[in-house]
Amino acid sequence: MTTSQHTFRGLANVSFFADDLEAARRWYTDVFGTEPYFARDGYVEFRVGDDLDEIGIIDRRYAPGAGGPAGAIVSWHVDDLPLTFARLVELGATVHDGIRERGAGFVTASVVDPFGNLLAVMTNPHWVEVHESRITDPA
């Protein structure tokens, strides 16, 4: 495959902002079941999931602009969406968009975390297919 500087190759990082970075660090440590792999003043970063996708939490004082949840909604594939969604709410998130069947096996839901960020989860048959093909044909 030929690539250029203009080719998007995949999710590299998702960044959320929090007024209380330490509280956000603790909350996401509970959500992901792991400590951040990287931390510095004003920023912590986790690697999560099968591909070790990166999610950074940034002190809101570094946020460009102000307001409520904004930006792109990035959805994370999960194997058990109802369980994951319920756990997020149990940990203090508020429902943004409840569980919705989208057709062809795609199911989505989103919450607003305790720090004002949108966090979306989904069952994504395409993600599963791509991931499984990497396992059976790693070339």
**123 shares its domain with 99:** yes
The secondary structure element, H or E, covering residue 100 is strand 94-103
The residue segments making up the domain with residue 26 are 10-62
pLDDT for the residue numbered 1: 46
Strand order in the sheet with 118-123: 75-77, 118-123, 106-112, 94-103
**120 shares its domain with 103:** yes
User: Does 115 have pLDDT greater than 60?
Assistant: yes
**58 shares its domain with 84:** no
Count: domains in the chain: 2
**44 shares its domain with 98:** no
pLDDT for the residue numbered 41: 94
pLDDT, mean of residues 13-32: 94
Pick the closest to residue 128 from 81, 87, 83, 88 (CA basis). 81
Last residue of a domain, one of 62, 79, 102: 62
Q: Model confidence over 58-112: pLDDT tens digits? A: 898 887 666 666 556 788 999 999 999 999 999 999 998 899 998 889 899 989 9
Domain containing residue 21: CATH number: 3.10.180.10
